[in-house]
Amino acid sequence: MKQIILTLLLLLSVSLTTNAQNYVRSGNTFTAKSSSKSSSKSSSIKTKFTWKDSKGKTYSIQVSSNGAAFVIKTSSKTNKEYKNYLGPEISKEICKELGINYTSKK
């Protein structure tokens, strides 16, 4: 019983720490502190903002129809493009400046 409770507490603490801010904003450029990956397809709007990842490569930020900000990256192994979503903090900030309605998934 103790193991189950300890395991649940550990999982909860890990999930709370993963929601920490992992970017720095400098003007219209957002710079990653660490990388995150996600994939999906939908229509999008290109913005004036850019994203600089932890390796120093700069990408153009796009916003999906529900207000989620992402960049298009190419896999080094398969050469396939995928969307790397930047998180709700950046999405809300960009949507606010562009006058776009941000819709949370929850």
* Structural domain contains residue 106: no
In this structure, is residue 69 part of a structural domain? yes
Long-range contacts made by residues 38-47, C-beta under 8 angstroms, separation at least 24?
38/70, 38/82, 38/83, 38/84, 38/85, 39/82, 39/83, 40/83, 40/85, 41/83, 44/70, 45/98, 45/100, 47/94, 47/98
Per the structure, the complete domain to which residue 40 belongs is given by 22-98
On whether residue 30 sits in a domain, the answer given is yes
Q: What total of structural domains would you count in the chain?
A: 1
Question: What is residue 15's predicted lDDT score, i.e. its pLDDT?
Answer: 53
CB count, 10 Å around CB of 106?
A: 4
Q: Is 87 contained in some domain? A: yes
35 vs 99: CA distance, rounded Å = 27
Residue 44 lies in a domain: yes
Statement: the pTM of the whole predicted model exceeds 0.85: no
Which residue positions in the chain have pLDDT lower than 50? Answer: 18, 36-40
Per DSSP, the three-state class of 94 is helix
